[in-house]
């Protein structure tokens, strides 16, 4: 039996179901979850399909009625989580601008210095900023 590995590209290209939640998980957690719940379906219905380029997504879409409900549910969770993570990463600068100005004066730009400062000052940083950093996976 061949080992099934799901790459980030596969996770991001498996967009055949709508997102259902907004919490974030790491990319490795997402891959592990999908490998666990979708691995048997992939081995059974798409054993020779490359993971990248959307081929796996297309294969699974063609067989959506046969895919396990757990795979579908976990897939929805993963897509929603990764979308939320990407949105949070895009929103961190705006969400944390005031906190960075207030608590990180004199911090050199670049190399995540502001992020390090905000994480170090998390007890006084606004909930909005802290949530954005957490959802972005940067704490």
- The tens digit of pLDDT for each residue in 69-88 reads 999 888 888 888 888 889 98
- The Cα 138–Cα 4 span in angstroms is 28
Task: Report the pLDDT averaged over residues 95-121.
Answer: 93
Give the pLDDT confidence score for residue 3 in this predicted structure: 43
The Cβ of residue 76 has, within 10 Å, a number of other Cβ atoms equal to 15
- The Cα 126–Cα 111 span in angstroms is 22
> Helices 69-103 and 113-120 meet at what angle, rounded to 10?
90
By the 8 A CB rule, do 46 and 16 touch? no
- If one compares 17 and 127, the residue with the highest pLDDT of the two is 127
Percent of the chain with pLDDT over 90: 43
The enclosing H or E element of 117 equals helix 113-120
Domain ranges of the chain: 8-136
By the 8 A CB rule, do 79 and 58 touch? no
3-class SS of residue 120: helix
Task: Report the pLDDT averaged over residues 46-69.
Answer: 86
């Amino acid at each position: 039996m061949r080992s099934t590995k799901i790459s980030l590209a596969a996770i991001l290209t498996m967009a055949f179901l709508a997102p259902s939640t907004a919490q974030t998980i790491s990319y490795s957690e997402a891959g592990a979850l999908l490998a666990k719940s979708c691995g048997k379906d992939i081995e059974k219905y798409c054993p020779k399909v490359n993971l990248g380029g959307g081929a796996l997504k297309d294969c699974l879409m063609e067989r959506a009625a046969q895919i396990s409900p757990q795979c579908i549910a976990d897939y929805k969770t993963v897509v929603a989580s990764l979308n939320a993570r990407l949105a949070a990463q895009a929103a961190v600068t705006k969400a944390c601008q005031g906190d960075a100005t207030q608590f990180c004066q004199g911090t050199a730009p670049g190399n995540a210095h502001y992020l390090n400062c905000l994480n170090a000052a998390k007890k006084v940083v606004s909930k909005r900023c802290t949530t954005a950093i957490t959802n972005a996976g940067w704490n």
